[in-house]
Chains A and B, each alone.
Chain A
Amino acid sequence: MENKTNQFQQVGKNKLKVDGQALVTGGPQFVADYYVPDMLWAKVLYSPHAHARIKKIDTSQAEKLPGVKAVLTYKDVPRIPFTTAGQGAPEPSAYDTFILDSKVRFVGDKVAIVAAETEAIAEEAVKLIKVEYEVLKAVFDPRDALKKGAPLIHDEKEAHMPLPLFYDKTKNICAHADFKTGDLEKGFKGADFIIEHDYDIHYATHTSIETHITTVYFDPHGRIVILTSTQVPFHVRRITARALNIPAKKIRVIKPRIGGGFGGKQEVLLEPLVTALALKAKQAVCLKYTRSEEFISSRCRHPQLIHLKTGVKKDGTITAIDINIVMNNGAYGSHGLTILCNTGSKVLPLLKCDNISFYGDVAYTNYPVCGAYRGYGATEGYFAMGIQLDVMAEKIGTDILEWFKKIHIKVGETSPVFAALGEGREGVEQNITSCGLDKCIELGAKEIGWYGKRRQKQTGRFRRGVGTIIMMQGSAIPEIDMGAAFIKMNEDGSFNMLLGATDLGTGSDTIMAQIAAEVLAVETDKMIVYSSDTDFTPFDVGAYASSTTYLSGQAVIKAAQKVKEQILGVASEMLNEPKEDLTVKDSKVIGKKGEVSYSDISNYSLYTKNQFQIMAGDSHIVHKSPPPFAAHFAEVEVDMLTGKVRVIKYVCAIDCGTAINPQMAEGQSEGAVLNGISYALTERYIFSETGKMLNPNFDYYKIFGTRDLPEMKTILVPTYEPTGPFGAKSVSEISINGPCPVISNAIYDATGVRIYKTPFTPDKVLAAINKK
């Protein structure tokens, strides 16, 4: 397999990031860096109540303040329900959101927005808006929300699911999924051990260092230009057009460089609102979230309560899996169904088991809104399954690593889960065509020193232990996701490549450049990549579902192959040799008799004879979602006196197929792992009794810095995925799923105490130790 990647010139190499020089020199390239003449600043008035109706709202004082140009309340915007979930159309998320509404559903819900000449004036004006609320009973626990008589969060008539999917707002259910395979009862009967636990995984947020920001201005034709920090420019155009009832042709969305997204910017969060405000002010407006707004009023990871029951035989056969989930979506239903389904579809197929039941309800509550977040439901699922596997292995007294090798899905095998659980519709059947998981287990175990450290009796104040997990994710959403690319040739033999695919810091522009360069037989730096602009670049669903490399990469290959054919055609004319005798190498076409440079070919095609522009575009949809696989290992130290957990070393061995750019693949994995560790140990939302998030800053919402960084090791285990571009699968999401279960398992190895609830803060760990 490695031989296959060795034959590549551009793929599989650590090429420099194509936008790297711009980024290390700090030139203007993010939304906030663009100067728009006469731009106004927006500030939002947020609800102080978790659940209330606006009885009266008086904006007259705010409007009179000098410098204020426009104020919007629910009275000023169209009452069209939409979802902020940036998914393909129609979205499998409830249409339960209005640009502004007369009801507020969480502390931090938007009440009104002001545009003024300065941020200070806008802030002042927000304080002058007088609102009289009728405070309603709120509900925060998703289990309570599902009970009869619970306060109804979406009692408005318009809220609905745009697809024929289960949705019951009269019960606060914003999504539901279930499926069964085999015979669960028989499965449990045949088990030697039945293990049952409740797992509780918590609220968190992305904390991109660039907060959400959107600037809307008007071009000389009166068209609306939305310059925005988004992962989904084409969905932004479509959803904004819907929410404001304006034709898509009036809207242009530009995505410049993005300062991190992690799913948080797969949300059409600000664009319809800022567009409505700019339309009223008839002037450009910028809304830039503060850090506090980013915590309270953007999007979060979906917390889940998981009841997991599994049956296992002494020989290691898993006989039954019964998983019941209650998921909290917060006040709006963004991504509810698909995250729930992913908790099943990204976790269950990994394990061989004939009898499975999956059941989940997604509840509306009066807490902040959840949405897409790296890992997307799999993080939640692997927390439960990862610990449960550790418990099962101990129960049957097996070597967990050898057992892992027996129970995981292999090349040529399938799982009924693939077909049963899709994204808003049935899934797609698939066989595994590449899997390096055994090798991941071996190499990872060696790196952490597993067999010298596991189950060593620990005494004293500081106790060490090791934990592990195996995982899979997916690569794009089969039969749904589409990506397209366009390439044209310039007279110096360089190429412009226009991509809908959305680089949000992941490096996808570079990955796409390497893929195109490989096909075209040029150096990667000959590719001038531009992403994304709805006026100029072809469609792409955007950066989510671990899709860009696998999906958009194939579109790039197809477009590049067409361009290559055209190059060969011109060269054939120039060299007077048949196309079949020609090959491409190092920016040249080489024939049997002679050779010609790309630059000469391009000049010939533009200026000399039978002129035409060498250019082509193509699209791709995927029919499979081949999973990347990973084995994670951690060594932790627990302070028995304080309950503080420190990760000493973390090892991530990952099979992402061909790593198009190994250094960037490692970077994706390391970033995801550290985010996962910090989520497992310190990040959390602290709520007041009335539903207010109390720690909306980096002082009290602790994300890891350099001093907290454990020793980290990433091991890329190459395989070759036959359906992927040059053998590649996805890499960006899978690694965030490991730390919660791995650290919990390592805490158990160190102390004999299992923690089933995240995060593993000292108080929780100490309480568990003392209880033992």
Chain B
Amino acid sequence: MEKIKAIVNGVEKELSVKYSTEPLLDVLRRGGFVGVKEGCREGQCGACVVLIDGMPGNSCLYPAFRAAGKKITTIEGLGRPDNLNEIQKAFLESGAVQCGYCTPGIVLSTKALLEKNSAPSEDDIRVALDGNLCRCTGYVKIVSAVKLAAERIGKK
């Protein structure tokens, strides 16, 4: 077991890594960040997406050691239940959440998109979220939620 240091949700954290290829997903979940979801462990579903220095990445494929010194954002770093951020609010209000298992990953992919592109087109949204699978919603309301969030953040 070795320790690495990373900035998780703005706070420096010491994370224990069990073996050299241990994925960031497992290290973060063991560290209490259980909003990072496991869906396939093969980089295909996006449930485990976190932001690594602002870029969305599948934490199931990302060796935890490579996260040393980097800024990691998980869903726990966004708004809390009594203080949702604009993206979370937009997802809730648009009906973009059903079972909610894919939601943390999609909200984080949305955050990465909107930080890069504050007024994304429908195509931009579809491309940005293509790595996040959702089986419940049919994505219609997810796309609307991203548009709504972009609009509200743009107005601020």
Contacts and interface: CB of A to CB of B under 8 A. Distances in A.
Nearest to B81: A21
B80 interface: yes
A663 B145 CA distance: 13
A209 B135 contact: yes
Contact of B101 (A22, A209, A671): A209
25 contacts: A14-B95, A20-B100, A25-B75, A25-B80, A28-B34, A206-B135, A208-B99, A209-B39, A258-B99, A260-B101, A290-B41, A291-B41, A505-B98, A664-B95, A666-B140, A667-B136, A667-B140, A667-B141, A672-B138, A675-B138, A697-B42, A698-B40, A699-B44, A705-B129, A706-B129
B74 interface: yes
Contact of B34 (A23, A33, A506, A671): A33
Interface in B79-109: 79-82, 84, 88, 91-95, 97-104, 107
Given A663-B141, A706-B125, A706-B127, 17 more contacts: A22-B100, A23-B97, A24-B88, A24-B92, A25-B88, A26-B74, A33-B34, A210-B99, A290-B41, A291-B44, A505-B101, A667-B137, A670-B139, A670-B140, A698-B40, A705-B131, A707-B127
A291 B100 contact: no
Nearest to A288: B38
B5 to A, nearest CB: 23
Contact of A209 (B34, B37, B42, B138): B37
A706 B130 contact: yes
B99 A257 contact: yes
Given A26-B74, A26-B75, A671 B135 contact: yes
A505 B74 contact: no
Given A209-B39, A698-B45, A17 B138 contact: no
A27 B143 contact: no
A364 interface: no
A259 interface: yes
B136 A671 contact: yes
A505 B133 CA distance: 15
Interface string B112-135: 000000000000011101111111
A506 B98 contact: yes
B140 A20 contact: no
A703 interface: yes
Which size bracket describes the interface of B in this complex? 35 or more
B137 A671 contact: yes
Contact of B93 (A16, A27, A28): A16
Interface of B: 29, 34-42, 44-45, 47, 74-76, 78-82, 84, 88, 91-95, 97-104, 107, 125-127, 129-143
Contacts of A673: 138
Chain A CB within 10 A, most for which of B34, B88, B127: B34
A203 interface: no
Interface in A426-441: none
A150 interface: no
Given A23-B100, A259-B100, A706-B142, A663 B129 contact: no
Contacts of B42: 291, 697-699
A96 to B, nearest CB: 29
A25 B78 contact: yes
A211 B142 CA distance: 22
B101 A712 contact: no
B135 A675 contact: yes
A709 B126 contact: yes
Interface string A709-728: 10010100000000000000
B140 A262 contact: no
Nearest to A712: B140
A673 B110 CA distance: 24
Nearest to A672: B138
Contacts of A210: 37, 39, 99, 101
B92 A21 contact: yes
A687 B107 CA distance: 36
Contacts of B125: 706
Nearest to B128: A706
Contacts of A699: 42, 44
B100 A19 contact: yes
Contacts of B81: 21-22, 25, 27
Contacts of B129: 705-706
A709 B144 CA distance: 13
Nearest to A667: B95
A14 B95 CA distance: 9
A128 interface: no
A485 B97 CA distance: 25
B137 A20 contact: no
B84 A505 contact: no
Contacts of B136: 260, 505, 667, 671
B97 A24 contact: yes
A630 B88 CA distance: 32
B133 A705 contact: yes
Contacts of B100: 19-20, 22-24, 29, 257, 259, 505
Contacts of A207: 133, 135
Nearest to A735: B138
A699 B43 CA distance: 10
A743 interface: no
A62 B82 CA distance: 49
A91 B133 CA distance: 34
A672 B80 CA distance: 30
Nearest to B34: A33
- What are the 6 tightest A-B residue pairs by CB atom distance, in nearest-first order? A26-B35, A505-B99, A23-B100, A259-B101, A670-B138, A26-B75
A666 B103 contact: no
A30 interface: yes
Contacts of B99: 23, 208-210, 257-260, 504-505
Contacts of B107: 24
Contact of B134 (A209, A663, A707): A209
Contacts of A321: none
A705 B101 contact: no
A32 B34 contact: yes
A20 B90 CA distance: 11
Nearest to A506: B98
B130 to A, nearest CB: 5
A211 B44 CA distance: 14
B145 to A, nearest CB: 10
Contacts of B134: 209
B47 A209 contact: yes
A751 to B, nearest CB: 26
A698 to B, nearest CB: 4
Contacts of A21: 81-82, 84, 92
A505 B94 CA distance: 15
Given A25-B84, A27-B81, A712 B138 contact: yes
B6 to A, nearest CB: 18
Given A23-B97, A26-B35, A207-B135, A706 B92 contact: no
Contacts of A27: 34-35, 76, 81
Contacts of B102: 209, 259
Nearest to B145: A24
A348 interface: no
Given A705-B132, A706-B130, A698 B44 contact: yes
Interface string A146-182: 0000000000000000000000000000000000000
A674 interface: yes
Contacts of A709: 126, 138-140, 143
Nearest to B80: A25
A69 B98 CA distance: 38
